[in-house]
Amino acid sequence: MLRVFQNPKVVVSVVFVAAMFMNILDTTIVNTAIPTIGRDFDSSVSSTGAVSSAYLVSIAVVIPASGWLGDRFGTRRIFLIALALFTVASALCALAGSLGQLVAFRVLQGVGGGMLTPVGMAMLFRVFPPEERIRASKILTVPTAAAPALGPVLGGLLVDGLSWHWAFLVNVPVGLAALVFGLRYLPRHDDLVEETGRFDAPGFVLAGVGLGGLMFAITEGPARGWGSPDVLLPGILGVVLLGVLVRRELAVRFPLLDLRIFGDRLFRRSTMVVLPASAGFLGLLYAFPQLQQQGLGRTATESGLLTFPEAIGVMVGSQVVSRIYRRLGPRRLISGGAGTVAAMALCLTRVDASTPDAVVVAIMFVLGAGMSFVFIPTQSTVFANISPARTGQASGLFNALRQTGAALGVAVMATVISVVGPSAGAAATGADPDLGGYHAAFLTAAVLLLLAVAIASRIRDADAAATMGPAPATRGAHPAGTPAGPAAD
């Protein structure tokens, strides 16, 4: 067993999956607990919404700096600091005695969570050379697929059976175990990037305030109204500052966000696929429980159990993708996967009170399997031609856009549900509830996924040739994190 832990690929995979699973699971569990938190603190719905928005905004502020921090101080050090911060903040959230304290601790938790994903992903793709990236992408499916589906089930059980405090306490043992394991076994090799330059403070302010303002507007728009000054002003400010950021970062020698990486055609197109794909997929995972609970009157646990087949579908689909990727290439797999998910979204527009649960389970399973054909090839190809020295920067950009896409998808679905139909967002009453808003949300998700199909059709398999070569059984001739051949940007 100890020999296994001497393999950096195994160690990085274990620590990263544990941290990512905890991070993603936390979001879905906390969303389930928010109504109970509001009742406990006697707070309005708009006030308790800050528990979610504060976390998402702080993530958006931190992500742009994560690449520079990992390059400057080492990904191992920054990842472990982020993991410790997230774990401590989770414990503080559980002990919060007021809504204000909880929101403050959620900001701290978001700082840790915002660094975990991009820094951890940079570690993962540095230790796996290009021809083994499909294996690394399979590893990523565990937290990204299982956690969103498991969260509502676990959240309902914890909140209903114990208290909302356990929505945060559940992170503590997992975080501590991952931290101790990481301190003991994560490789200590020096992965610092020689030319990081001085910290780009103006770039950080522009990116942090710009992304933070945009994320706040996206997450609060459905609740406060898109025409509200509280939403419009941060949203407009965010867009303007991000525009200024682009111009500045392209002009300086050592930018906080190296936007020149978008000059790589494969990185650019793979990242552009992730935006609508994440929006459509995460939007579906938001709208489906709403349909089941608010539209059809099911409990949170029943809704979660109907959602969970999606995670099983991703797990099964990932086994298939890993076997056919090198033969078919990313373009056909991503296009076919996104098209399949779009078809399942259209099937969900026909779900009502008379639909058998077996049909719903089958739809969710196929939906998850189709999504594995999008996420695994995309994550395999996105860094295919990015050198190890630029992987940290590329990971920060990729995750910033993916996080924005996910938040936008949820916001769009929430808006569609509330706008379409006079009672679309109301709980089921009578034998024939109005489900028009939910069906419209599924149709919107289908459109987003068809947009992903259109972008994926422009990916060139030849650009991803480095990830499609045969993967040798051992990599003894190459140190961890060193690709077998040169990676041309």
Rounded percentage of the chain residues whose pLDDT exceeds 90: 14
Residue 465 corresponds to which amino acid?
Answer: A
pLDDT tens for residues 36-71? 777 777 766 556 666 777 787 788 788 888 877 887
d(CA 483, CA 413) in angstroms, rounded, equals: 41
Domains 1-199 and 261-468 share a fold: yes
pLDDT bin (cut points 50, 70, 90) of residue 136 is: low
The pLDDT of residue 3 is above 60: yes
Q: Is residue 197 over pLDDT 80?
A: no
In this structure, which topology does domain 261-468 adopt according to CATH?
Answer: Growth Hormone; Chain: A; (1.20.1250)
Q: How far apart are CA 64 and CA 258, in angstroms?
A: 10
Give me the helices (H) in 329-426, please: 330-348, 357-381, 391-419
Q: Is 404 helix (H, G, I), strand (E, B) or coil?
A: helix
For residue 133, give the amino acid letter: R
Q: Which residues contact 388 (CB under 8 A, 6 or more apart)?
A: 126, 191, 481, 482, 483, 487
Over residues 11-18, the mean pLDDT reads 82
Dig out the tokens for 49 from the structure.
Answer: 């919404």
Q: What is the pTM of this model?
A: 0.77
Distances 188 to 6, 76, 92 between C-alpha atoms, Å: 11, 7, 30
Separation of alpha carbons 335 and 456, rounded Å:
6
Summarised one tens digit per residue, pLDDT across range 209-242 is 887 888 788 777 777 778 888 888 988 998 899 8
Distance CA 415, CA 447 (A): 16
Residue 427 has pLDDT above 60, yes or no: no
What's the pLDDT at 193?
55
Location of structure tokens 């770039």:
203
Q: How far is Cα 163 from Cα 287, in angstroms, rounded to an integer?
A: 25
User: Do residues 115 and 86 make contact, with C-beta atoms less than 8 angstroms apart?
Assistant: no
- The pLDDT value recorded for residue 366 is 94
pLDDT of residue 348: 94
- Cα 11 from Cα 186, distance rounded (Å): 6
Determine the average pLDDT of the residues in 290-294: 80
Please return the burial class of 320, using the count of CB atoms within 10 Å of its CB with bins 0-12, 13-18 and 19+.
middle
Domains of the chain by residue range: 1-199, 261-468
pLDDT tens-digit profile of 308-356? Answer: 888 888 888 888 887 888 888 888 999 999 999 999 999 999 988 889 9
Q: Looking at residues 473-477, what average pLDDT do you find? A: 42
Q: What is the mean pLDDT of residues 106-122?
A: 85
Domain 1-199: which CATH class? mainly alpha
